[in-house]
């Protein structure tokens, strides 16, 4: 009783309840999927439009941190925007200071450092968002997931948000490490379509990829997303 009223107070069984509530917020967020492929990385997300009058193109769910690094999020997207802007600044500072692109892990650690501070400081609340960060650096393609506690893990394939359990089961069955970017996009869209079913359409779909040879974050056009979704629904 009352152990969830302060972020700095542990419950008798050793839990920080406000942090656990933040993780539940993530599970209610719109779905985001990241995959590592043999020739790059893939992002596929659900925009989850809350109003038919919203301009579809104005809803951003996949963010550019640098040319070679992208990110997507589930949970409170305003929290994500603050963290992404911090990561963008960190990336540019590294470029100016060292005259070279930043590695992905440094970006992930910087995001997680701030998240962790917000789990032990009075007067703050945890960031109610999980972020998938992926890209291509000197070590090759990589994908990381950060959660509200400030912890991070590296994945071959990861999903956050609504339908996480069902999509994870599908990825465990069908994901292969030698998959290419094109097949990775199809697999992720297939998983998203399976969970969201009849409510899912091209207006809600957002896809992007970074190929290992170009190291440039590229968003799929609406026409390509529509073609991808048609192919998936035919099968």
Measured from the Cβ of residue 186, the count of other Cβ atoms closer than 10 Å reads: 18
Is 11 inside any structural domain?
A: no
* Residue 85 included in any domain: yes
- Directed axis angle between helix 104-117 and helix 77-98, to 10°? 130
In a domain, 230, yes or no: yes
Q: How confident is the model at residue 1 (pLDDT cuts 50, 70, 90)?
A: low
- Tell me the whole-structure pTM to 2 decimals: 0.95
Q: With beta carbons less than 8 A apart as the criterion, state whether 120 and 132 touch.
A: no
User: What would the mean pLDDT of 23-32 be, rounded to a whole number?
Assistant: 95
Considering the domain boundaries, does residue 146 fall inside one? Answer: yes
Task: Answer whether 42's CB lies under 8 Å from 35's CB.
Answer: yes
CATH number at residue 195: 3.60.20.10
Q: Residue 233 — very low, low, confident or very high, per pLDDT cuts 50/70/90?
A: confident
Structural domain includes residue 9: no
Mean pLDDT (the chain) is: 94
Q: Average pLDDT for residues 154-161, to the nearest whole number?
A: 97
List the domain range (segments joined by +) for residue 131. 17-234
Pair of tokens at residue 170: 């599908």
- Under 8 Å between Cβ of 8 and 117: no
Q: Comparing 26-40, 43-57, 174-188, which segment has the lowest mean pLDDT?
A: 43-57
Enumerate the H helices of the chain as residue ranges: 17-27, 77-98, 104-117, 164-174, 181-196, 222-234
Q: CB atoms < 10 A from the CB of 61, how many?
A: 24
- Residue 150 included in any domain: yes
> Based on the structure, what is the number of domains in the chain?
1
**Does 4 map to a domain?**
no
Residue 185 in any domain: the answer is yes
């Amino acid at each position: 009783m009352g152990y969830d009223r302060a972020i700095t107070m542990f419950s008798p069984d050793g839990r920080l309840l406000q942090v656990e509530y933040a993780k539940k917020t993530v599970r209610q967020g719109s779905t985001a999927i990241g995959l590592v492929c043999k020739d790059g990385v893939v992002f596929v997300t659900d925009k989850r439009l809350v109003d038919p009058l919203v301009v579809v193109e104005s809803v951003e769910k996949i963010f550019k941190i640098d040319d070679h690094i992208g990110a997507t999020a589930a949970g409170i997207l305003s929290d994500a925007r603050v963290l992404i802007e911090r990561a963008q600044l960190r990336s540019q500072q590294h470029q100016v200071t060292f005259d070279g692109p930043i590695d992905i892990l440094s970006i992930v650690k910087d995001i997680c450092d701030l998240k962790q501070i917000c789990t032990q400081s009075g007067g703050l609340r945890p960031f109610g968002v999980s972020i998938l960060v992926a890209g291509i650096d000197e070590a090759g393609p990589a994908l990381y997931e950060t959660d509200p506690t400030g912890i991070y893990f590296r994945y071959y394939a990861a999903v956050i948000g609504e339908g996480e359990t069902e999509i994870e089961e599908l990825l465990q069955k069908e994901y292969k490490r030698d998959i290419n970017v094109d097949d990775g996009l199809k697999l992720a869209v297939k998983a998203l379509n399976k969970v969201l079913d009849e409510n899912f359409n091209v207006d809600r779909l957002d896809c992007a990829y970074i190929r290992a040879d170009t190291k440039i974050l590229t968003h799929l056009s609406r026409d390509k997303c529509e073609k991808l979704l048609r192919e998936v629904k035919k099968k």
